[in-house]
Structure 1
Amino acid sequence: MHQIGSRDHRPELNQVILELICENQAGLPVYMQALSGNTNDQKAFAEVTRQHVQSLQAAQQSRYFVGDAALYTADSLSALHQQEQLFVTRVPMTLKDAKHAVSNLQTERLETLGDGYHGYWIEADYAGVPQRWLLVRSEQATKREQQTVTKNLLKTGTRELKQFQQLCKKRFACQQGAEQALAEFSRGLSVLRIEQGNTLAQPIYSGKGRPKKGQPRKESTTS
Structure 2
Amino acid sequence: MKQFREEWDLDSIYVVDSALYSSDNFQQLRQLRWITLVTASLKVVNILVESLGEETFEDIEVPGYRIASCCSDYGGVRQRWLVVESESGRAQ
Same fold per TM (> 0.5)? Answer: yes
Q: Number of matched residues?
A: 91
CA contact (8 A) 1:50 1:76 kept: no
C-alpha deviation, 1:95, in angstroms:
1.7
Report the identity percentage.
32
| Cross-structure match for 2:2 | 50
* Distance (whole Å) between structure 2 residues aligned to residue 74 and residue 123 of structure 1: 16
Q: Which residue of 2 aligns with 1:128?
A: 76
What's the Cα RMSD here?
1.6
TM-score by length of 2: 0.84
- Match runs of 1:53-68 below 5 Å: 53-56=5-8, 58=9, 61-68=10-17
Instruction: Structure 1: state its 5+ residue gaps.
Output: 1-48, 146-223
Q: 1:134-145 counterparts in 2 under 5 A? A: 134-143=82-91, 145=92
Q: Which amino acid aligns with 1:100?
A: I
For 1:34-73, what per-residue CA distance to the aligned partner results, in whole angstroms no more than 9, with x for missing partners? xxxxxxxxxxxxxxx23313421x1xx2421112311211
Higher relative contact order, structure no. (Cα contacts within 8 Å, ≥ 6 residues apart): 2
Asked if 1:111 is matched to 2:63, the reply is no
Q: Given residue 73 of structure 2, which amino acid in structure 1 is its aligned partner? A: D
After superposition, residues 1-223 of structure 1 pair within 5 angstroms as: 49-56=1-8, 58=9, 61-81=10-30, 84-115=31-62, 116-143=64-91, 145=92
Shift of 1:119: 1.2
Match in the other structure for 1:4: none
Q: TM-score, normalised by structure 1?
A: 0.38
Matched residue SS, 1:52: helix
Gaps of 5+ in 2: none
